[in-house]
Structure 1
Amino acid sequence: MKSNLVIRICLICLVIVAVTFLVLKLTIWQVTPDSDREDFKKYPKTYFGARLNDLRTGKESQKTHSAYSGNDRKDYEAVPVEAVRVERSNIEIFLVNNCTLEPERQVDVAAKTSGIVLKILAEEGDYVESGTILAKLDDKEALLALREAKLKKENAERVYKSSLDNFKDAIISKEEFEDKKFQFEIASVELERKQLEYEYTTIESPIDGVIVERNIEAGYNIEKDQIVFKIADFNPILARIYIPEKDVSKVVEGQMARITSEFLPEIEFMGKVKMVSPVVDPESGTVKATIEMEDLTGDVLRPGMFVSVFTIVGQHQDALIIPKKALILEAESDEVFVARDFVVMVMSSDGLEGLAIGDSVVCEQKKAIEESSLNRTGSTLRGKIVDISGSYEDKSLYRIAIEADGALGKETGNIFKTVSFYNSQDILVLQIKDIGFDVETKAFKTKIILGFRKGNNVEVLTGLKEGDRVITVGQDDVGHGADIVIINTGKEIGETSVFGSP
């Protein structure tokens, strides 16, 4: 029984193996012809997805393979990453404070006399000039008092003139004359007082500004010195901030500041440091600084509004900027991974004796490409030789690696019409017609020196140039010289609207 069971199990296993072999033969093993597999085994360093003869001539064979374009390759060893270009922009460093806006001047308008309010001639929000009538009080009583004072003065003046003539004629004494003169002067002063009391029944604005508060209504019986209006001058508007003692030396009069409000996130207002207090508050350890904003349009900022003030204490124009997340976190110094494109061609050894690493290369595309591609004029690509290596098996075939001056666009074709090699003296050494090529992208660790840091961006002083691509996502899976695939396109930083004169 046991022997029969073993025989049956063995037969089943043989059937399974046979079926598996047939399936593989009909599917997977049929994808790559035997001749292509032999080529790959023979030339492991120079096989790039097409037959070597096709790469030399740029012509497709009768098989389905074509010269390698770089965009359609399936490089399973390449690490997917995201990268952005190094850009030039202005970068600033600043101190951040929060405060409530204040007008430069705000006055309380008080009643100078008592009385009943007859008319209100200005409302909250109205802009008024100095001397503008704001309200009128009942002036009947004041007018009567003024007329009475005027009559008393006229009478005192007549008595004074009569006593003067009598004094000259020695009819009255000097003491009596002086008394009449004094009565006349008292009557004159009283008339002036009553004139003022009458004028006080008209309430006027003492400054140019906006009425921010009205505390009376028609019919109110107000008292002398009662606050009836508040008027503020909105130009300029002030932001009073308090700078920590350690940062006081960074802030001086005339420095620019940016003011933002959470209610106006897309707008920045410009201001200027008007004054810095000469003393330090011993309780808070801060110094008061006043930021002035003039010529604001649209009355967008108003006193009492809560804002953030960014006092600019340093600024670099046209600086190289990269995202902070491009920095390699565990590096001993500041480092980033830079993505570089390489053009790879395979050719025979004929004429290669005169080539050397560092020679310049000018490649002309056989296919039309867009003029917007980087580092190309029309259909020309430029670069330098960085590697010349031969096959382990066939010494007549060589792999030429060329570092492109810039990133290669997706529209790059797969065949060069003409490739010209120039030595260090710009002498043409070799020229090849109709040759296919591959495109490889690699990551290289690069040391940099940083400058200003602002939010999510940092300034690069040395180590990079404008247009370089730095990896921002995927650094942990990348090593120096590793193959990568960039899966995104960098975005440009937008500008923010700015209001206010500098």
Structure 2
Amino acid sequence: MNRPTFPILMFAIAGLIVSGCSQQSGQTQADAGKGEETTIEARVPVEIATARRAPVTQAFQGTASLEAVAVSEVVSKATGVVLQVLVEEGDSVNKGDVLARMESDRQRLALAQAKADLAKLESDFQRTQKMFERKLIANDAFDQVRFGLETQRAVVAMQELELSYTQIRAPISGVVSQRLVKEGNLVQQNQSLFRIDDFDPLEAVVAVPEREMQVIRAGQPVKMLVDAVPGVPFDGVVARVSPVVDASSGTFRVVAHFRDEQGRLRSGMFGRLSIVFDVRDEVLVVPRQALLAEDQDAAVYQIDSDGVARRQSVTLGHVGDGLAEIRDGLDSGAIVVTLGQSGLREGTKVQVLNPPAEVPGGSAAETAQLAAVAVKTEGS
């Protein structure tokens, strides 16, 4: 017996119609949502700054340890017992000051004997000279007495020198950095007793890449920061520049001198140095972080009056110290993006995060311009 197929077919067609209507309704809503997303375009949050005119310095940055400009190892020139030590570590001394005294009895006796012998020879020489003038003695006899007198004078000078060695004197002016002897010690000849460092000035030896050889000169100013005195820059000067490049490292030696009247700098301290070799007044600069690149493809994102980011190629001058010199591509007062560049493309609308009052380096007119851009980016 055949079952009727017409009712089944009608139900199937009705189901397809309902399904089609549902899909069409869903598609219409999705299209409407896309239209709303296109209409309400999201802005990319950024921070901005203005291109402005300011002085810039071009400098080489390096590190070095401070060293005494002169160091003297004071040694004993005689053997004997130390009777008195007159200085301690940290004491300032001048060249020639007595640092310690050694026993000197033997040297004094030897000097007294030498002087007595000298007095006898001088008396003999005077008698011999008178006899020689009267031609009572031969030339050889007179010369022998004269040579003996000169020899004894040298002996006296030697004994005086030996006696002077019992007083240990400072060979240079400076600060006693080490005391290696105590009273009562028996010291030998050439034994180290003291170390003296001359801290005026202190010097720092910096290895500078050979590419900087044409711009580093003696007499250029140097700034230095040390961890031991945080936040205090010390002024120095380039004292010497090596004329040769180390083939193994590709660097040359630069010696800078520093003076600190307050005595805060010490030998061995680690310093961060900046050798200034060029200073330019009132050039156009932007914050260095605004640069998308620092080579021949240097560019920034500039914000126009509508709050839209435009990629702008620029020609760079000196780059350093947080600022980049712009020689071409921007005008003074131009607004550039300093943070958030990664989310930008040509024509992207932006939202300014830093209020105009927080933008560094702007004049009153530039601040007003920034405020207008900020308002426009917030209100659009």
Same fold (TM over 0.5): yes
Q: Is the 8 A contact 2:51 2:284 kept in 1?
A: yes
Q: Deviation at 1:134?
A: 1.2
Aligned residue among 46, 49, 55 for 1:84? 49
SS at match of 2:214: helix
Q: Which residue of 2 aligns with 1:114?
A: 79
Q: Deviation at 1:339?
A: 6.0
Structure-2 separation of matches of 1:137 and 1:459:
66
Unaligned runs of 5+ in 1: 1-74, 341-440, 494-502
1:156 aligns with 2:121: yes
Deviations 1:189-231 (A, max 9, x none): 2122112211221122222222222222111222223332222
Deviations 1:298-326 (A, max 9, x none): 22222222223322343322333333333
Structure-2 separation of matches of 1:306 and 1:487:
37
Structure-2 separation of matches of 1:130 and 1:122:
13
1:316 aligns with 2:280: yes
1:122–1:78 distance in 2 versus 1, CA, 3 Å: same
Aligned residue among 421, 445, 454 for 2:310? 445
1:261-300 equivalences in 2 (<5 Å): 261-293=226-258, 295-300=259-264
Structure-1 separation of matches of 2:180 and 2:68:
20
Structure with a larger share of its residues in helix: 2
1:322–1:207 distance in 2 versus 1, CA, 3 Å: same
For 2:315, the aligned partner's letter is I
1:61-76 equivalences in 2 (<5 Å): none
1:316-355 equivalences in 2 (<5 Å): 316-327=280-291, 334-338=299-303, 340=305
Q: Which residue of 1 aligns with 2:20?
A: none
1:484 aligns with 2:354: no
Q: Percent identity between the aligned chains?
A: 28
For 1:235, the aligned partner's letter is D
Deviations 1:24-78 (A, max 9, x none): xxxxxxxxxxxxxxxxxxxxxxxxxxxxxxxxxxxxxxxxxxxxxxxxxxx9966
Q: Deviation at 1:451?
A: 2.4
* Stretch moving more, 465-474 or 148-157: 465-474
Q: Is the 8 A contact 1:110 1:225 kept in 2?
A: yes
Q: Which residue of 1 aligns with 2:6?
A: none
SS at match of 2:67: strand
Q: Which residue of 1 aligns with 2:337?
A: 471
Q: Is the 8 A contact 2:236 2:256 kept in 1?
A: yes
1:418-457 equivalences in 2 (<5 Å): 442-445=307-310, 447=312, 448-454=314-320, 456-457=322-323
For 1:442, the aligned partner's letter is G
Q: Deviation at 1:119?
A: 1.1
Unaligned runs of 5+ in 2: 1-39, 362-380
Structure-2 separation of matches of 1:267 and 1:296:
12
SS at match of 1:160: helix
Aligned residue among 68, 79, 93 for 1:103? 68
For 2:358, the aligned partner's letter is G
1:93–1:177 distance in 2 versus 1, CA, 3 Å: closer
Q: Which residue of 1 aligns with 2:164?
A: 199
Q: Is the 8 A contact 1:443 1:478 kept in 2?
A: no
For 1:308, the aligned partner's letter is R
Q: Which residue of 1 aligns with 2:218?
A: 253
1:251–1:167 distance in 2 versus 1, CA, 3 Å: closer
For 1:304, the aligned partner's letter is G
Structure-1 separation of matches of 2:338 and 2:326:
15
Report the TM-score when normalising by structure 2: 0.72
Q: Deviation at 1:474?
A: 4.1
Structure-2 separation of matches of 1:339 and 1:492:
19
Structure-2 separation of matches of 1:333 and 1:154:
90
Q: Deviation at 1:254?
A: 2.6
SS at match of 1:181: helix
Aligned residue among 320, 323, 327 for 1:461? 327
Q: Is the 8 A contact 1:281 1:287 kept in 2?
A: yes
Name the Cα RMSD after superposition. Answer: 3.1
Structure-2 separation of matches of 1:80 and 1:308:
36
